Structure 1
Amino acid sequence: MAQHNETGKQGELEAVRYLQEKGYEIMTQNYRYQHAEIDLIAKKGKLLVFVEVKTRTNLSYGNPEEFVSYTKAKLVMKAAENYIFANDWLHDIRFDIVAVTVAGNELRINHIEDAFF
């Protein structure tokens, strides 16, 4: 498997751990709808959170969260709409980014709530 895939998997695992520590229940990982994918869908009380996880091993080209494009945000929203209707969700939702930086033995997580809508 390519190194960037391993880095992405590690980032998702760290994001899951982080969110669970913050009291979120992970409902689904890697939810797919047509050409869209949502990395994590989490729930906290009556709030459903759609999470895009971005992981980088260095910051030479910018912070991980800067790599969530407008196109990616639209795809996530499209998949979220499908998930909401398929699961008859009638409460609040939010779109977050969890940016993970793994450099050597150092791990940094930046959780951005309401990242896009």
Structure 2
Amino acid sequence: MAEHNDLGNAGEEMATAHLLKNGYDILVRNYVFQKGEIDIVARKANTVVIVEVKTRSTPDFGNPQDFLKKGQIQRLVATANHFIENYTEEDLEVRFDIVAIIKNKAGTKLEHIEDAFYHF
């Protein structure tokens, strides 16, 4: 497996641990619909949280969350709509978060950005 895939998988594991530690229930990981994929679907109280995990080994080229592009957001929203319509039974709030991680030999920095799409 490519090194960047290993880094991405490690980032998703860290994000999952962070969410669980902070009271979220993990509903599903790596949910795929058509060309879109949601890294983590979680729930906290009456909110379904769609989580995009961005992991980088260095901040030299920008923050991890800055690598989320418009087309990726559109696919993420379409995939989230499919999940909500087909796998939830009640009216729930939906929120889009980003967990941005920088992981390298110097250490790990994790930032959880709630309602992330309002920051674009």
1:44 aligns with 2:41: no
* Equivalent position of 1:99 in the other structure: 100
* Equivalent position of 1:29 in the other structure: 29
User: 1:75-114 to 2 correspondence within 5 Å?
Assistant: 75-87=75-87, 88-114=89-115
* Equivalent position of 2:62 in the other structure: 62
Aligned residue for 1:8, secondary structure, equals helix
Fraction of identical pairs, as percent: 38
Aligned length: 117
Q: Which moved more, 1:17-26 or 1:81-90?
A: 81-90
- The CA RMSD over aligned residues, in Å, is 1.0
For residues 87-115 of structure 1, the C-alpha deviation after alignment (integer angstroms, 9 at most, x for no partner) is: 23411010000001102151111111111
Under a length normalisation based on structure 1, what TM-score does the superposition of the two structures give?
Answer: 0.96
2-side partners of 1:15 and 1:23: how far apart?
13
2-side partners of 1:69 and 1:99: how far apart?
14
Give the gaps of 5 or more residues in structure 2.
none
Aligned residue for 1:90, secondary structure, equals coil
1-side partners of 2:91 and 2:30: how far apart?
22
Aligned residue for 1:116, secondary structure, equals helix
Q: After TM superposition, where is structure 1 displaced by more than 6 Å over at least 4 residues in a row?
A: none
